[in-house]
Amino acid sequence: MSNAAWGSTSDGAPSTALPAGVILTRDETLVGRMGIDVTAAGAELTTGTMPVEPNRQPYGLLHGGASAVLAETLGSIAAAYHAHTIGRLAVGVELNCTHHRAVRSGYVTGTATKIHAGSSAATYEIVIVDERDKRVCTSRLTCMLIDRAPGASVDPEGVVDSDDGAGDEVTPGA
């Protein structure tokens, strides 16, 4: 995918447009540093790949935190697509990861599938597999869907900025 791409167009080609509210390109975020490529994006299903080698822990195995980053990335993108359809923003509130097997090289592929998408929360199951299609990690992500303040954007720190000069921290349940 291109440096600025976050998803694909309907014909499968990489999209060079940044989604609404996104102010950073892929390479300016953790997604870029981890080498994550989003291969398909939508509210029902979002997929992506990540290389193992640059994301290993000292024993030479895929770092569990790297799997968590891939899972949260794919689930959050899917939740953002759903939230956009109802004029809201998605913010993660819970991530659960179960690691099933080690991976030492190659790529892993994650698939985020919608479990629930309502008006206040969205939950996704994210399954990560190795190149042999063996399950590496199973995750579940729940995102709270919050109202977007008039004229608001999301800054890199995850703060909703209502353009009044003061950052409005996102607080779950507030």
Q: What angle do CA 167, 77, 106 make, to 5 degrees?
A: 125
Q: Give me the helices (H) in 21-101, please.
A: 30-33, 64-85
CA distance 57 to 47: 24
Query: Is residue 28 annotated as a catalytic residue, yes or no?
Result: no
Provide the β-strand partners of residue 116.
123
Tell which residue, 126, 61, 131, 54, has the closest CA to residue 97.
126
Q: Catalytic pick from 72, 94, 125, 131?
A: 72
Mapping DSSP to helix (H, G, I), strand (E, B) and coil, where does residue 74 land? helix
The set of catalytic residues is 72
